[in-house]
Amino acid sequence: MKKYPDAEITSADYFFIDPQSGEYKFRIEDLPEAHNQCQKFVLSAMFEKRRPMIIIDNTSISKWEMEPYFALASSADYSVLVIHPKTPWAWDVDELAKRNTHDVPIETITKKLNKALKKPIPLYYGWFLSNVASRDVMSCSYWLLKHCLENCMDFQKEFLGYLPPNASINQKKLLNSLISFYRPSEDNLHVTAKFVGFDIEAASKYTTRVEERLGEVHDVTLFGYTFSRYAFGARVRLNMESSLDLYDTDESFLPKQETYRINRNTRRSKGHIECPHLCPSFPDYMTGNTIYPETSKEFFHPNPGKGKRCHITIGTRHGSQPVNTGYDALRTAHQEEEMKKGEFKTWIVPDIGILRKIDFDLWTLYLFKTVDLHAMFCGY
């Protein structure tokens, strides 16, 4: 609790503690009611107390035991982090039998361990925004894209070239055209730290290095966007040295057209695509710094060092993979390193920022006001 002083902690075991004497008396016949009370406590902590973090200290062997809390978290816009025990005796049957206070026989403990969810090795690591923050960033990002299209005819003309021949953009159908082209990300928005894929050796090595850091909340800054025929992404900067220490993504190459990953055989979903609610400004809790090109040399070179590939995928074109957003960020950073003053066409988007065509099919928006985000380092 020293690490998370604002957290609310609860357990089904609390039901068996006598409020007067503080004595613990476990009664197996009351176990269903104990879990029911635990869930009610969590519900109160979410909706009445609005605690920023809730720790549920229960022994969950199987997924079904966690599912009630997953459902509660989803309804209240909380993100869930499943913690595996790190004690050296966590999988030691004899030690568990000795330590348990529920008089569970060693045979039962053995059966439970055999069924237990084993410690996974994630294939992907990154910094994840909360459900609420993801929705807010998505809403504002699509509004900014719409605003850029309305205020820059050259940008709109090029965007039209990406659409099917019979498509058209007008003020009434502009948003529908955007959604049909850049399909919104369906996951919680996140910044990639490491994708290990199915290389088990690399996955194990990275996991060993970072597993003690899982669950940390880090600060990241959203300072601009990239738009291409492949993806719509937010550019972000890792603000902490501890974040850069976790970041392990290849930035040593310059993506070419053949680098981009397109699956042209992917069938377009016929299901409903939910349109993000548009919001013209980021909420106050995300307000960052105001910056202008006249007062900052870094305005057009916002992220030159390690982490220049960092991004959040907002949406992708049909068949385009999210990794392409990172390629756009790399190409943009490379062009920023090469550019000379006045070399690229520039459009001012009133009150928002400066839009530049950075490459033949790549546009970048530099924001006048940055956006501060908090994201949790997790693996899955």
Give the bridge partners for 362, in sequence order.
228, 359
Is residue 262 assigned to a domain?
no
pLDDT at 50 over 50: yes
| 3-state secondary structure at position 17 | strand
Instruction: Return the pLDDT at 128.
Output: 93
Length of the chain: 380
Residues 72 and 145 reside in one and the same domain: no
* Domain end marker among 115, 146, 177: 115
Residues 54 and 17 reside in one and the same domain: yes
Whole-model pTM: value is: 0.82
Instruction: Return the pLDDT at 276.
Output: 65
Residues 111 and 128 reside in one and the same domain: no
Residues 56 and 182 reside in one and the same domain: no
Is residue 157 assigned to a domain?
yes
* Domain end marker among 86, 115, 144: 115
Instruction: Return the pLDDT at 174.
Output: 64
The pLDDT tens digits of the residues spanning 277-301 come to: 778 888 888 888 998 887 777 888 8
Residues 180 and 318 reside in one and the same domain: yes
Query: What percentage of the chain carries pLDDT values higher than 90?
Result: 40
Q: Bigger pLDDT: 301 or 198?
A: 301
Instruction: Return the pLDDT at 184.
Output: 87
Residues 6+ apart with CB under 8 A from 302: 223, 224, 235, 237, 336, 366
Residues 132 and 105 reside in one and the same domain: no
Instruction: Return the pLDDT at 144.
Output: 93
**81: containing domain:** 8-115
Cα–Cα distance, 223 to 191 (Å, whole number): 14
Q: How confident is the model at residue 2 (pLDDT cuts 50, 70, 90)?
A: low
Is residue 263 assigned to a domain?
no
The pLDDT tens digits of the residues spanning 227-240 come to: 999 999 999 999 99
The pLDDT tens digits of the residues spanning 338-378 come to: 875 556 788 999 889 999 999 889 999 999 999 999 998 99
Residues 42 and 185 reside in one and the same domain: no
Is residue 271 assigned to a domain?
no
Domain count, the chain: 2
Residues 83 and 148 reside in one and the same domain: no
Is residue 268 assigned to a domain?
no
pLDDT at 248 over 90: yes
Is residue 267 assigned to a domain?
no
pLDDT at 49 over 80: no
Is the CB of residue 132 less than 8 Å from the CB of residue 152? Answer: no
pLDDT at 127 over 70: yes
Is residue 335 assigned to a domain?
yes
Residues 107 and 35 reside in one and the same domain: yes
Q: What is the mean pLDDT of residues 182-201?
A: 87
Residues 90 and 159 reside in one and the same domain: no
Q: Bigger pLDDT: 164 or 98?
A: 98
Q: What is the mean pLDDT of residues 101-109?
A: 84
Cα–Cα distance, 55 to 87 (Å, whole number): 18
Q: What is the mean pLDDT of residues 77-81?
A: 81
Residues 307 and 251 reside in one and the same domain: yes
Q: What is the mean pLDDT of residues 194-218?
A: 87
Is residue 200 assigned to a domain?
yes
Residues 96 and 147 reside in one and the same domain: no
Is the CB of residue 189 less than 8 Å from the CB of residue 138? Answer: yes
Instruction: Return the pLDDT at 279.
Output: 84
The structure tokens listed for 198 are 């199915």
Query: What percentage of the chain carries pLDDT values higher than 70?
Result: 89
What CATH number does residue 222 fall under? 3.90.1740.10
pLDDT at 156 over 80: yes
Q: What is the mean pLDDT of residues 256-266?
A: 80
- The average confidence (pLDDT) of the chain is 86
* Domain end marker among 90, 115, 140: 115
